[in-house]
Amino acid sequence: SRTEIHNFAAGPSPLPTSVLEEAARGLLNYGNTGMGVCELSHRGKEFKGIIEGAEGESVGVSHSTRREANLRKLLNIPSSYAVLFAQGGGTTQFSSVVLNVLAARRLQHRSDSEYTPPVLDYVVTGSWSSKAYSEAQPATTKPSSFTTLPKRDEYSFTKDAGLVYYCENETINGIEFPLDQSSPYAFPFDLVPENVPLVADYSSSFLSRPIPNLERHAIIYAGAQKNLGPSGVTVVIVRKDLLVDTAEAMKLGGVPVVPIQNEYKILADNGSLYNTPPTFPIYVSALVLEHLLSRGGLDGLRDINGEKARLLYETLDAAERDGKVRCVVREKEARSWMNVTFETVGEGKEKAFLDGAEARGFRQLKGHRSVGGIRASLYNAVTIDSVRALCEWIKAF
């Protein structure tokens, strides 16, 4: 049963048990309607209740829904940003961010008959930013491994770039920008030219702690399947000046074709209900947002997630000194709180570690297939007791 195992999956990953129990009830009989949540029209009053809140409850802004209001509260998102719920996962955002930013820029240069598309600056720190970069610039070579972050003095941004893009937490490699803004490895917000849209992939650290300098970003996006809910819905927090009519930009020329599903304005104008949305993931993520708010929000989560990561890295560093394991990310300040990557030392040891882990109730610890090794993901629903239990196994190994 759930209580007997410790699930360290990198995503889809564990969700709060109380939320899943409520979702299980809703799956069969939502709000005593006799209908399951996956059997409700996305335009009917019952589903409207899920996304807009209880009947009569007002959140003030048109198209503003309860899940949106809750997310705004949790992350302090100002009204100059739209909050969208998109489909197609994080991967679809690799192109969406570029297409919308380029369309907005083209409209700003409406009368320029010699318009040339801008340079796009990517900070490539791991597998996911590498994929996003490849999608934007087809001719790239794939770096073989990522084990640290650049330092402040290693960045050089293009003055008039179309965008600056980074991935806050590299899920596969276990690299994350430190929260401490005085660290030399912190993301150098002040070095990004002021007029250049800053885009961040927050897929695997979303809602694990507050977002530093949220208002310095033009777009922040995150797939749901780590801390928010089941896969199938992606949150996009986008500055409202980027909600542009991409068809108009296409008519001017000099921008790529934008499929309608990639246009942020369409989603915004339709309250994220342009077409049939993934209703069940939306339902569960609405429950998770309520759960997070009722538990006091992101400051408490930052403290507990920081402590979980500290415990595990401390145990791994000690085991490393004993010659048993090796942390993949050498620079401590670049280590992810959410995805802890390490390797065992010695022939046949990895299998022994994983077999022993499995026997002790630890699940989904195998590293991503592209890099191997071991990865323990410590998302919000992974308890500190699960982390302590894993530390005991590392010590005993």
- Number of amino acids touching ligand PMP (CB under 6 A): 11
Contact flag: residue 90 with ligand PMP (CB under 6 A): yes
CB closer to ligand PMP, 128 vs 280 = 128
Q: Name which position in 70, 125, 203, 305 contacts ligand PMP (CB under 6 A).
A: 203
Q: Which region, judged by CB under 6 A, interacts with ligand PMP, from 77-85, 87-95, 260-268, 345-353?
A: 87-95
Given 131, 226, 265, 324, which residue is catalytic? 226
**CB nearer to ligand PMP: pick between 33 and 95:** 95
- Closest residue to ligand PMP in the complex (CB): 89
Site string for ligand PMP, 344-373 (x = CB under 6 A): ------------------------------
Tell which one of 11, 162, 278, 367 touches ligand PMP (CB under 6 A).
Answer: 11
Residue 121 annotated to the active site: no
User: Is 393 labeled as catalytic in the residue annotation?
Assistant: no
In the complex, least distance from residue 163 CB atom to ligand PMP, rounded to whole angstroms: 16
Q: Is 187 in the site for ligand PMP (CB under 6 A)?
A: no
Nearest-approach distance from CB 97 to ligand PMP, in angstroms: 12
Write the DSSP string, 112-128.
-TT--PPPEEE---SHH
Q: Mark 169-192 as b/e (b = at least 16 C-beta within 10 Å).
A: bbbbbbbbbbbeeebebbbbeeeb
Query: For the stretch 346-363, what's the b/e string if a residue is b when 16 or more beta carbons lie within 10 angstroms of its beta carbon?
Result: eeeebeebbeebeeeebe
In angstroms, the CA 186 to CA 151 distance is 8
Whether 201 is a known active-site residue: answer yes
Least distance from C-beta 243 to ligand PMP, angstroms?
Answer: 22
> Whole-angstrom Cα distance, residue 381 to residue 305?
10
- E strand spans, the chain: 6-7, 81-86, 120-122, 163-167, 169-170, 175-176, 198-201, 219-223, 234-239, 325-327, 339-344, 362-363, 374-377
Tokens 């720190």, residue located: 125
- The bridge status of strand 219-223 relative to strand 198-201 is parallel
Nearer to ligand PMP, 121 or 168 (CB): 168
Task: Work out whether 130 is an interface residue with ligand PMP (CB under 6 A).
Answer: no
State the nearest-atom distance from the C-beta of 90 to ligand PMP, in Å.
3
Of 206 and 393, nearer to ligand PMP (C-beta) is 206
Task: Provide the minimum distance between the beta carbon of 333 and ligand PMP in the complex, in angstroms, as a whole number.
Answer: 19
The answer to whether residue 53 forms part of the interface with ligand PMP (CB under 6 A) is no
8 A C-beta contact, residue 237 and residue 226: no
Return the C-alpha torsion angle 290, 294, 297, 299, nearest 10. -160
Tally of CA atoms within 13 A in the half-sphere of 356 that contains its CB: 15
CA-CA distance, 71 to 66, in Å (whole number)?
Answer: 8
- Sheet of 163-167: strand order equals 81-86, 234-239, 219-223, 198-201, 163-167, 120-122
Q: Which stretch binds ligand PMP (CB under 6 A): 31-39, 88-96, 145-153, 267-275?
A: 88-96
Provide the mask over 140-179, with x wherever binding to ligand PMP is found by CB under 6 A and - wherever it is not: ---------------------------x---x--------
Contact flag: residue 201 with ligand PMP (CB under 6 A): yes
In the complex, the smallest distance separating the C-beta of residue 167 from ligand PMP, rounded to whole angstroms, is 5
- The 325-327 sheet, strands edge to edge: 325-327, 339-344, 374-377
* 106 or 209: CB nearest ligand PMP: 209
Say if residues 106 and 171 touch (Cβ distance below 8 Å): no
| Site membership for ligand PMP, residue 223 (CB under 6 A) | yes
Q: Look up residue 28 and give its two tokens.
A: 């069969």
Residue 128 within binding range of ligand PMP, rule CB under 6 A: yes
Residue 198: CB minimum distance to ligand PMP, A: 16
d(CA 200, CA 123): 10
Contact 324, 344 (CB under 8 A): yes
Q: What is the contact surface with ligand PMP in residues (CB under 6 A)?
A: 11, 89-91, 128, 167, 171, 201, 203-204, 223
| Residues with active-site annotation | 128, 201, 226
